[in-house]
Amino acid sequence: MKHILFILTIFSFTLLSCKKDYTCSCVQTYTTTAYVQYGTHHPQSTTVSSFSNTYKAKKDEAESICKKSESLNIQNYGSGESFRTATETVTCEVK
C-alpha cells in the first residue's frame, strides 16, 4: 500500500509541474486628444484592438512572459492649437 501511495504522489507532482498551453490576451488602446490643425477641428479619437499569443509553459512562466507585453507610451505632438497627446496602453492577462 505504501508503494502505491508513493507512486501516486510522484505521479501527482509530475502532473503539476508539466508545461501547459496558456493564452496571453492583450488589449491595446490608442487615444489622441482633440486638436485643431490648419483650421480643421479633429475630435478626440480612441482605437481599441486586441491580440493574443499562446505559450507552452508553466503558469508562472506564462504570466511573466505575458506581463512583458504590457506597456504605456505617451507622446506629445505639435504646438499651440495643434498640440495633442497620443497615449497607447497595452494591458494583458493569462487565460
Q: Can you give the pLDDT of all 95 residues of the chain as single tens digits?
A: 666 655 656 555 555 557 899 999 999 999 999 999 999 999 999 999 999 999 999 999 999 999 999 999 999 999 998 999 999 999 999 98
Run of H or E including 80? none
What is the reported pTM? 0.72
Report the alpha-carbon distance of residue 81 to residue 83 in Å, rounded. 5
Q: What is the pLDDT of residue 87?
A: 98
Report the alpha-carbon distance of residue 36 to residue 44 in Å, rounded. 11
Q: What is the pLDDT of residue 43?
A: 96
Cβ atoms within 10 Å, residue 66 = 22
Q: What is the pLDDT of residue 60?
A: 92
